[in-house]
C-alpha cells in the first residue's frame, strides 16, 4: 500500500492513489490533517489546471510547499480533484 513519509512520520497511506506523471496522488482522507498547513502558493499546469499547496509540519520541522493538489482540475485530470501529492524530500513508498 503506498504511503508518504517525512521526518520518519507516515503522513499519508492509501491503496487508492492515482498515479499521474510518476506522482502518487493520495485521497484527502488518507492524509494526516495534523501535518498540513495551508500555503498561499499556487502554480499552473497547462493540462491539469491551478495547483494549491500545503506546508508539511512534523514537530518543529516545516517543509514549505511540499504537498500540492488541484481543487478544481481541468477535465483531463478530474480523477485527481482534491487528491494530494508530495515532493521536496517526502518519500513515497509504493
Q: What is the reported pLDDT for 51?
A: 98
Domains of the chain: 3-93 (2.170.150.40)
Instruction: Read off the pTM.
Output: 0.97
Q: What is the reported pLDDT for 90?
A: 98
Order of strands, sheet of 3-6, starting from the edge strand that comes earlier in the sequence: 9-13, 3-6, 91-93
pLDDT tens string 65-82: 999 999 999 999 999 999
DSSP tag of 88: T
Q: What is the reported pLDDT for 67?
A: 98
pLDDT tens string 19-36: 999 999 999 999 999 999
Q: How far is CA 29 from the centre of its chain?
A: 12
Question: From start to end of 1-94, where are the E strands?
Answer: 3-6, 9-13, 18-20, 23-25, 36-45, 49-58, 61-69, 84-86, 91-93
Q: What is the reported pLDDT for 72?
A: 98
Calculate the average pLDDT of the chain. Answer: 98
Amino acid at each position: 500500500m503506498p504511503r508518504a513519509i517525512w521526518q520518519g512520520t507516515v503522513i499519508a497511506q492509501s491503496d487508492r492513489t492515482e498515479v499521474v506523471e510518476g506522482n502518487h496522488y493520495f485521497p484527502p482522507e488518507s492524509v494526516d490533517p495534523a501535518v498540513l498547513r495551508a500555503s498561499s502558493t499556487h502554480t499552473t499546469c497547462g493540462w491539469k489546471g491551478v495547483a494549491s499547496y500545503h506546508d508539511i509540519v512534523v514537530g518543529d520541522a516545516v517543509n514549505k510547499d511540499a504537498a500540492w493538489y488541484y481543487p478544481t482540475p481541468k477535465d483531463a485530470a478530474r480523477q485527481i480533484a482534491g487528491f494530494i501529492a508530495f515532493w521536496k524530500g517526502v518519500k513515497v513508498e509504493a
